Amino acid sequence: MISYKKVDISKIKLDNSKLIYEGQELIIKSPIINFKIVKGNNCSKIKLICNDDSQSHDIFLNIIGYIERIYEYNKIKSDFISDNNVNVYMNENSRFFDCNTKEIDIENIIGDKCIVSIMFTNETLLLSQLLLIK
């Protein structure tokens, strides 16, 4: 896992629909960011709400946007960013932690600020972990 602050976009490579960074699967840790859980019929996702006035959010959005362009260049459909928000899908392996780093269920999430770690698999931006922030 690498912090968004330390990502050098020139080192990101696409290999068989997986993003690789310095020889390892790319997992990015976000800045502190507001979020909203969106539950759908077939899947649930977290919408990361980027602040237009935040330099750290701009950097994070630029990295996700660059990755989206890599996918599009390779003719792989992606919808990571919409309306300045980042769409992150959840699966059964996604983990959630309260502000004391105790693992919790998604139903027990209280709050709207977090740090997430995300990975890119099967043309999807996937939530690895979410840590709630007070």
The pLDDT assigned to 31 comes to: 97
Number of neighbouring beta carbons within 10 Å of residue 52:
8
If you search the block for the tokens 């800045």, which residue do you land on? 31
40/120 Cα distance (integer angstroms)? 20
103 or 39, which is more confident: 103
50/88 Cα distance (integer angstroms)? 13
The pLDDT assigned to 55 comes to: 96
Domain extents for the chain?
2-132
Q: Is the pTM of this model over 0.85?
A: yes
Q: What is the mean pLDDT of the chain?
A: 92
What DSSP state is assigned to residue 7? -
The pLDDT assigned to 18 comes to: 83
Q: Which residues contact 92 (CB under 8 A, 6 or more apart)?
A: none
Q: Which residues contact 25 (CB under 8 A, 6 or more apart)?
A: 18, 19, 119
Closest CA to 130 of 103, 107, 43: 103
What's the pLDDT band for 37 if we cut at 50, 70, 90? very high
Helices then strands (H, E): number in the chain? 1, 13
| Mean pLDDT, residues 18-42 | 91
Beta bridge partners of 120: 125
| Mean pLDDT, residues 35-46 | 86
What's the pLDDT band for 27 if we cut at 50, 70, 90? very high
Q: Is the pLDDT of residue 43 over 90?
A: no
Q: Is the pLDDT of residue 41 over 80?
A: no
Decide if 14 contacts 26 (C-beta within 8 A). no
Q: Could you report the per-residue pLDDT of 57-104, keeping only the tens digit for each?
A: 999 999 999 999 999 998 988 889 999 999 999 999 999 999 999 999
